[in-house]
Amino acid sequence: MDMRKPYPSDLTDEQWALAEPVITAWKAQHPSVSGHQGKYAMREIVNAILYQNRTGCQWEFLPHDMPPPGAVKYYFYLWRDDGTDQTVHDLLRWHLREKKKRLADPSLIVMDTQSIHVSVGVPATTTGRDAAKRVPGRKRCLAVDTLGLVVEAVVLPASAHDNAAGTALLDGVAAQTDRVEKALVDQGFKKTVVDHGKRYGIDVEIVERNPADTGFVPQAKRWIIEQTNGILMFYRRLVRDYEHRPASSRSRVFWAMTSVMARRLTGSTLASWRTA
């Protein structure tokens, strides 16, 4: 890494060591046509992606002491399309689960959706209006384990029913692991999702809300996904959906959680904008 003053979002040496094997292996498999190793260090490319995720800046507003926007965009889109972003993310998730004395993949997941506004310029064909929550935009759908770590993420128009979100999440989870036995969901998910889970041997339980409850009341085990949604809100690129393609929005979730897990694995913290 060039000798520059680090930004708070930069990976430390210890954190970079967690992701570096995947990135180095990827680089070895994708040599340039001319045979050179590239002008920019891969660690700096990753740092630039994490900086943008945390600050929410536009591509052209990346700091001058980082690789140019064109180079960062090139790798962001390439890693999004070939799944390298998720490979790095999943590796850290497995490490963190094992550090917590858990098996690499969970047997229980929690699924939920969150409707978010989109930025000006996001194609209308990829957005919709969530009539129940009165939010025009997109629906961010997550499946997390009991530690709040993301197992799968799907981004749909906000008008999509939770059934569509649930079936897509189950498809993604089942494609990754056959260990998941149970999924907890709220009452927005219906029998369609329950039946879809049976195809994969996953028992989907719709957790009923206590009619006597008023306001927000955390539900046992299901509350962890609300914590994950709250953590993602510290990453300003995720507060509103700025991405033209839902696949990019999904990638942003993986990069945000990669940052979170790298800090947890190394016992470090990152100050929020609410920190005095």
The model's pTM is 0.92
Helices (H) and strands (E) in the chain, counts: 8, 6
Per-residue confidence (pLDDT) for residue 214, from 0 to 100: 60
CB-based contact 107:181 (threshold 8 Å):
yes
Count CA within 13 A, CB hemisphere, residue 169: 35
Reported in sequence order, the residue ranges of 101-232 that DSSP labels E, i.e. its strands, are 108-117, 128-130, 135-144, 150-157, 182-185, 203-206
- Domain parsing of the chain, residue ranges: 105-241
Which residues of the chain fall short of a pLDDT of 70?
1-2, 34-38, 210-220, 271-276
CB-based contact 97:147 (threshold 8 Å):
yes
Per-residue confidence (pLDDT) for residue 37, from 0 to 100: 64
CB-based contact 137:158 (threshold 8 Å):
yes
- For 105-241, the fitting CATH number among 3.90.1150.10, 3.40.50.620, 1.10.10.10, 3.30.420.10 is 3.30.420.10
Count CA within 13 A, CB hemisphere, residue 23: 18
Per-residue confidence (pLDDT) for residue 240, from 0 to 100: 96
Per-residue confidence (pLDDT) for residue 133, from 0 to 100: 87
Neighbours of 21 (CB within 10 A): 11
Tokens of 155: 């981004």
Per-residue confidence (pLDDT) for residue 222, from 0 to 100: 85
Per-residue confidence (pLDDT) for residue 104, from 0 to 100: 96
Per-residue confidence (pLDDT) for residue 35, from 0 to 100: 60
Per-residue confidence (pLDDT) for residue 109, from 0 to 100: 97
275 CB-near residues (< 8 Å, 6+ apart): none
Per-residue confidence (pLDDT) for residue 1, from 0 to 100: 47
